[in-house]
Amino acid sequence: MLFQRLQRELLNELEAILQYWAMHMPDNRYGGFYGRIDENNYVVQGAPKGAVLNARICWTFAAAHRIRPNKEWLALSQRAYHYLNRFFIDPVYGGVCWTVDHTGRPLDTKKQVYAIAFVLYACAAYYRASEDEQALTDAWSLYQQLEQYCLDQEYGGYGEAWSREWGRLDDLRLSKKDANEAKSMNTHLHVLEAYAALYQCRPDPRLKQSIVSLLNLFDQHIIDRATGHLHLFFAANWELRSSTISYGHDIEAGWLLLEAATITGDAGLVEIFRRRAVKLTNAALRGMDADGGLWYEYEPSTQHLVQEKHWWPQAEALVGLFNAWQVTLDESYLQQVLATWKFIQQKIKDKVHGEWFWGVDANGLPLPNQDKAGLWKCPYHNGRACIELLERIQTGIVHTPVAS
């Protein structure tokens, strides 16, 4: 009964999220989707359109269609893919640009590896949903370009950003809040996620080796063996350049790394990352509040906790906790899933306008002046959480338990 109820609630939530995006975001004048909806639920006319936003829209509708076929969802994924193909993928130098203006003209043409990974991820998902060979061709081309231009042949891993012509940049940051360093956990996590998705479409041995190399980098450099937290920023040679803890990334990485290892079919890697998944999840739980909400970040050097609960760590907590329960069969993880789901329903979901708030403060009040949709606020985290849990409940997959 528990799983039946949760399954029903998750499906209802997925449909509500996608209905919001289907109703409010398509730009019927200039094509694709609007670039921003503000905190008051108004479309911001003329807002730039981002590669990450469009890729995540494409991925979400394609992934939802794959588990529950729906012609409207497939059509919206197709709309996003065609816009990515026409306006974001660079036909001259390859890769993708960061933003275009509201009419589709290039705005910021830098090549951020994070954005390229998400467009690759979207193309792979759209191919699985539609069997459109051009989408697979695009995804494979982006993989080859990342390997050609962005792979660090000396130290391993991938750089952060390049100019349109693949030249060096001084500012490599993904956003203003990020450190300007040569390598980041976040970029590597989503390159891995994209490569694993592509491998499901095209199980090429070169691609498999790229995935294995990324998993090994996480194990050797990014996961702190002592604390279980992720390190966030690095020099080119993997010298650590940060100490901040991101609880949402910890719990997201736990299940994503195990999923990537499982996709390779390498039993040894699967065993390693089953254990890493539990360790990362337990580390993230240090940021879990009594109300079921996951705090945003913590800086150990100053003992400063960012007392905000953003939408995406709550979504990732659902999947990470459910994954930890599947791996260990420890019921406490499952109970925490339910607590976090209740917190989302009570505090994060916008019951008036739809979708989820950006987040809430320590008093449970919505954070002011934050987008409902925008360059970073997408249907990917919350939509994916619903999709992942629906698939996991439906298949009923559990693993041989490991100690938590």
Within-domain flag for 311? yes
Distance between CA atoms of residues 204 and 197, nearest Å: 12
Position 1 pLDDT exceeds 80:
no
Position 403 pLDDT exceeds 50:
no
Distance between CA atoms of residues 296 and 238, nearest Å: 25
Domain count, the chain: 1
What is the CA angle 359-353-122, rounded to 5? 70
Within-domain flag for 143? yes
Contact yes or no for 222/153 (Cβ under 8 A): no
The model's pLDDT over 138-192, given as tens digits with 9 standing for 90+, comes to: 999 999 999 999 999 999 999 999 999 999 999 999 998 999 999 999 999 999 9
Quickly tell me which residue has 């450190």 as its tokens: 179
Within-domain flag for 404? no
- The structure's pTM equals 0.97
Beta bridge partners of 100: 49, 106
Averaged pLDDT for residues 214-237: 98
Distance between CA atoms of residues 362 and 203, nearest Å: 46
Distance between CA atoms of residues 151 and 402, nearest Å: 34
Within-domain flag for 227? yes
Structural domain harbouring 345: 2-395
Position 137 pLDDT exceeds 60:
yes
Distance between CA atoms of residues 277 and 255, nearest Å: 6
Within-domain flag for 403? no
Question: Model confidence at 404, in pLDDT bands (50, 70, 90)?
Answer: very low
Task: For the chain, give the mean pLDDT.
Answer: 97
The model's pLDDT over 319-361, given as tens digits with 9 standing for 90+, comes to: 999 999 999 999 999 999 999 999 999 999 999 999 999 999 9
CATH classification at residue 237:
1.50.10.10
